[in-house]
Amino acid sequence: MYRKSDKPLITAQAINERLESLAKDIAAFGCDIVITVLSGGFLFSADISKRIASPKLQLAFIRASSYGNGTESSGNLKITGLENIDIRGKKVLVIDDILDTGNTMFGIKKALSGMGAEEIRTCVLLDKPARRTADITADFVGFEIENKFVVGYGLDYAGDYRTYPEIWTMEESDG
Ligand code: 5GP
Ligand code: MG
């Protein structure tokens, strides 16, 4: 059994402050299209996108799921939604909630790499470097965190907690 921690790991105020500087860095990159990985990345990418607010910035959405042994993502990645996205000649920013093993973002970058983009960069709200197995680092990172399972601000636990404006850790409890 898991239960949510009593205090947030990252407060809504800390997230909002970080969003300002992150959005400035991303705006300087000058991307043409943001590709959001659903569902976890939806709040984060919405908050980043509205801070960039460029008339030509396009938005697209994909899903990525890996079939492994439950909580661990495996190398067996399925990506859907790419077929309707045209990134030819564009500067692309892929936004996901968290870089954990890195398998998901690695697979997404690989899938996009044959689609004719001018440049592909990646952005995650959270980075758990201790868990990395794939050879990938994100170009833009909101916060580096320890190896703990987190929820809130788009991230879920069995579908719950996504709408919380803070990041919380889930802690093991006896029930
Ligand atoms: P990776 O492929 O990098 O191991 O995992 C990426 C995906 O696993 C994320 O997009 C997210 O859906 C899920 N994930 C990894 N760590 C966490 C976590 O601490 N909390 C939640 N809610 N999801 C996580
Ligand atoms: Mg995800």
| Tens-place pLDDT, residues 142-158 | 999 999 999 999 999 99
171 within domain boundaries:
no
User: Which two tokens mark 22?
Assistant: 């992150």
Nearest ligand for residue 77 CA: 1
pLDDT tens for each residue of 129-143? 999 999 999 999 999
Q: Is the CB of 73 under 6 A from ligand 1?
A: yes
Give 22-77 as a 3 state SS string: HHHHHHHHCCCEEEEEECCCHHHHHHHHHHHCCCCCEEEEEEEEECCCCCCCCCCE
Q: What is the mean pLDDT of residues 163-170?
A: 98
Could you say which of 100, 127, 135, 139 is catalytic?
100
Tens digit of each residue's pLDDT (9 = 90 or more) over 2-35: 899 999 999 999 999 999 999 999 999 999 999 9
Q: Please tell me the predicted confidence (pLDDT) of residue 120.
A: 98
Q: In this structure, what CATH number is given to the domain that contains residue 29? A: 3.40.50.2020
Helices (H), 53-170: 103-113
Distance from the alpha carbon of residue 12 to the mean position of ligand 1, in angstroms? 20
Query: Domain for residue 107, yes or no?
Result: yes
What's the pLDDT score for residue 73? 54
Structure tokens at 118: 């001018």
Query: Which residues partner with 36 through β-bridges?
Result: 61, 95
Is residue 170 included in any domain, yes or no?
no
Per the structure, the complete domain to which residue 120 belongs is given by 12-147
- Would you state the pLDDT for residue 43? 98
What local confidence, expressed as pLDDT, does residue 32 receive? 97
- Cα–Cα distances (Å) from 10 to 37, 115, 125, 153, in that order, read 21, 36, 11, 10
Query: Total domain count for the chain?
Result: 1
CA proximity to 133, closest of 94, 175, 114, 105: 105
86 is catalytic: no
- Between 105 and 172, name the one with better pLDDT: 105
Mean pLDDT of 110-137: 97
- pLDDT at residue 72, as a whole number: 54
pLDDT for 66 equals 82
Q: Is residue 155 part of a domain?
A: no
In a domain, 6, yes or no: no
pLDDT tens digits, one per residue of 55-112: 999 999 999 998 655 555 556 899 999 999 999 999 999 999 999 999 999 999 999 9
**Ligand 1 atom 17 nearest Cα:** 149
Mean pLDDT within 119-126: 98
